[in-house]
């Protein structure tokens, strides 16, 4: 985890966006990953973007996961999903994600929509605490990673947790081939 100074997220809800803090506070006792294994670390908000963050905090791109919000329409209804991929890869938005969402065309959701619908800051959106009706598509490489760093809903902190935890989130689907090498 590089030089991050982590502590249990449930003890530092102040470092999380409100929907993320709520999800951590309501973490099920019978979840496959204990809430105490979900850690948070404060960071410089100016260094929240993946490349800058990894360089500044000595975190490998291979353990940093990005959450991208995608959208597509079907029968006039916009469908949203979150795609979780390692920073060494890119989400296959118009292939695998589009087919999984069952839409004609998928693209990155507009920043304003992603921020408003998630209650999180752009550049900090995380799969924890997303709207319950959204599928969370997790690339199989992410859950194969022992520990990953993800956003916290805000730009001034990051969450560290076991990669398999992301595949166990409510609404999560592990998708083989969701990402391609960058």
Entry pTM = 0.95
SS3 67: strand
Q: Is 181 exposed, middle or buried (0-12, 13-18, 19+ CB in 10 A)?
A: exposed
Closest alpha carbon to 82 in 6, 153, 12: 153
Residues 38, 165: Cα–Cα separation, whole Å:
9
Q: What is the pLDDT along the chain (182 residues), one digit of tens a residue?
A: 899 999 999 999 999 999 999 999 999 888 888 999 999 999 999 999 999 999 999 999 999 999 999 999 999 999 999 999 999 999 999 999 999 999 999 999 999 999 999 999 999 999 999 999 999 999 999 999 999 999 999 999 999 999 999 999 999 999 999 999 98
Number of Cβ within 10 Å of residue 115's Cβ equals 17
Helices and strands in the chain: count of H runs, count of E runs = 6, 11
């Amino acid at each position: 985890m590089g030089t991050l100074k982590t502590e249990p997220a449930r003890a530092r809800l102040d470092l999380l966006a409100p929907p993320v803090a709520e999800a951590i506070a309501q973490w099920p006792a019978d979840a496959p990953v204990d809430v105490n294994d979900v850690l948070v670390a404060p960071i410089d908000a100016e260094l929240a973007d993946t490349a800058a963050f990894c360089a500044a905090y000595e975190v490998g791109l291979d353990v940093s996961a990005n959450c991208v919000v995608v959208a597509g329409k079907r029968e006039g209804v916009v469908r949203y999903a979150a795609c979780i991929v390692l920073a060494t890869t890119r989400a296959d938005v118009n292939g695998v994600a589009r087919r999984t969402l069952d839409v004609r065309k998928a693209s990155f959701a507009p920043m304003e929509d992603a921020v408003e619908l998630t209650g999180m800051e752009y550049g900090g959106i995380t799969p924890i605490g997303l709207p319950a009706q959204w599928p969370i598509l997790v690339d199989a490489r992410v859950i194969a990673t022992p520990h990953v760093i993800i956003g916290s809903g805000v730009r001034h902190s990051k969450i560290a947790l076991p990669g398999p935890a992301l595949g166990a989130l409510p609404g999560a689907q592990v998708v083989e081939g969701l990402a391609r090498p960058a």
